[in-house]
Amino acid sequence: MARSRTSTGLNHRARKGDVAAARRLSNGSLDLSHGIHLPRRSCKDHFELVEPGINAEGVHVWPFDPACPVDVLFITVDDRHRVRMNRHGYFEVLYLCSGSANCHIQDRLLPFNEGDLAIIGSTLYHRIECQSSSPLTIAAMFFEPDIIRCDGASDSAEYLTPFLLQDADFPHIVPAETGIPRQVLDMMLRIRAELPASNSRSRLALKTYLKMLLIHLVNQYAQYAGTVETFQRQQQALDRLRPLFRHLGENCGSPIQVGQAARICGMSESHFMSVFKRVTGLSFVTYINHYRIEHAQALLARTDQSMADISQQVGFCDQSYFGMIFRRIVGMTPVTYRRRIRTTVFPDQAQPDHMPPLCSGALAGQVLSARGTPGACGIHLAGSSPDPMARRTGTDDRSPAPSGNRPWR
């Protein structure tokens, strides 16, 4: 017990030291062209941190402390390991300390530069894509909106309005030049210094800093024309697609066409395709191909099943078509992928202990963390000849038609 207390105290002092160093960097320079560089020991790899927590529906779950569902952490992002498009029930604030990136939200690519702030709500599929030669460094804050909603004050919900009115034109990026990002970063660092909020004083301080942070955002977006109904419409669209996501999770290997998917959701085909693209940022065919190939990657990494068995299991009745789609999405053949992933990630075991069962909904992302495995980490959408930008950003929705009379799989 004494050792545990000593260890906790050391970790808390180290955390406060990291925050103090970052705050000095933040306050000590008005030159916004220089990023904030944090101690390496303070940063966590974004791919390894986030990808394993994304389920079959593309929803990321964060393990908050139930008593105080707020977390502030420093993460690094590189272009070798690209997290899948995902959304989450919590709200997210990102400050780009160093590097340059694109904030890929639905089908939009928003430039994200050093000193900028990104504001992301709970209904939009998104990911951060590194655009610099060196890894990005990001200060990230995740929080459950209920920490504000449950305060009991009549105006509590107003603190959350910037996250609730995010429509297709919402300006998610707050430029460094406005001065708001640095003010928000200071509040994030103050919150981090209070974590873990193990007593009532810490929790009170943390909530006070969080409200101060949110006031900066409320003021920044005061003139924005969106309404809370935008959030409600997006949430309703997600609710209508949930039966389909459940069906896909339970029947990955079964064929499904657009018409059947539309019926599962109770929509016409045209309306379904429009809603699905608006919610996920991908066409239904593209989504299905990636979903199945990710399952195939997990099977290739953790089992000795034959290519024919795997292609059947993930829903491709034609092995050659499976190989073609796999190569276009992953950048190599299934055989090459299996050989490389086993020799670079877990050479001494065919089935790594950390790989979850497929029925849990987790896909193959966590096995893609092999450094130096070209093409195995980014997602390149299937298509006959996507342009370089679409190939890099994953926004080309074209997908090759199967030969003969085979239906879309």
d(CA 279, CA 287): 12
What is the reported pLDDT for 195? 93
What is the reported pLDDT for 206? 94
Residues 276 and 299 in one domain: no
Structure tokens at 10: 């050391």
Residues 264 and 395 in one domain: no
Q: What is the pLDDT of residues 223-250, one digit of tens each?
A: 876 555 666 677 778 788 889 888 888 8
Of the chain, the percentage scoring pLDDT greater than 70 comes to 70
The answer to whether residues 291 and 252 touch, using CB atoms and an 8 Å cutoff, is yes
Q: What is the mean pLDDT of residues 311-328?
A: 89
- CATH number of the domain where residue 25 is located: 2.60.120.280
Band the pLDDT of 187: cuts 50, 70, 90.
very high
Residues 331 and 198 in one domain: no
Mean pLDDT highest for which of 55-59, 150-154, 213-217, 357-361?
213-217
Average pLDDT in the chain: 75
Residues 28 and 133 in one domain: yes
Residues 231 and 358 in one domain: no
Residues 294 and 211 in one domain: no
Residues 306 and 381 in one domain: yes
Lowest mean pLDDT among 67-76, 119-128, 190-199, 286-295: 286-295
**Residue 46: pLDDT over 80:** yes
What's the gap between Cα 204 and its chain centre? 30
What is the reported pLDDT for 152? 58
What is the reported pLDDT for 389? 36
- CATH number of the domain where residue 370 is located: 1.10.10.60
What is the reported pLDDT for 246? 85
Q: What is the pLDDT of residues 378-400, one digit of tens each?
A: 322 333 333 333 333 333 433 44
Q: Which of 199, 220, 241 is the last residue of a domain?
A: 220
**Strand 136-143 to 70-77 pairing:** antiparallel
Q: Give the closest residue to 385 by CA, choosing from 319, 326, 328.
A: 328
Residues in CB range of 262: below 8 A, 6 or more apart: 268, 269, 271, 272, 273
Q: What is the mean pLDDT of residues 315-332?
A: 86
d(CA 342, CA 300): 9
**Residue 175: pLDDT over 70:** yes
Name the residue range of residue 357's domain: 282-409
**Residue 251: pLDDT over 80:** yes
**Residue 27: pLDDT over 90:** no
Bridge partners of 188, per DSSP, are none
Residues 174 and 289 in one domain: no
* 4 domain residue, yes or no: no
Residues 24 and 116 in one domain: yes
Band the pLDDT of 79: cuts 50, 70, 90.
confident
* 7 domain residue, yes or no: no
Residues 186 and 253 in one domain: no
Band the pLDDT of 8: cuts 50, 70, 90.
very low
Residues 381 and 336 in one domain: yes
Residues 264 and 307 in one domain: no
**Residue 93: pLDDT over 70:** yes
* 371 domain residue, yes or no: yes
* 8 domain residue, yes or no: no
Structural domain total, the chain: 3
* 328 domain residue, yes or no: yes
**Residue 165: pLDDT over 90:** no
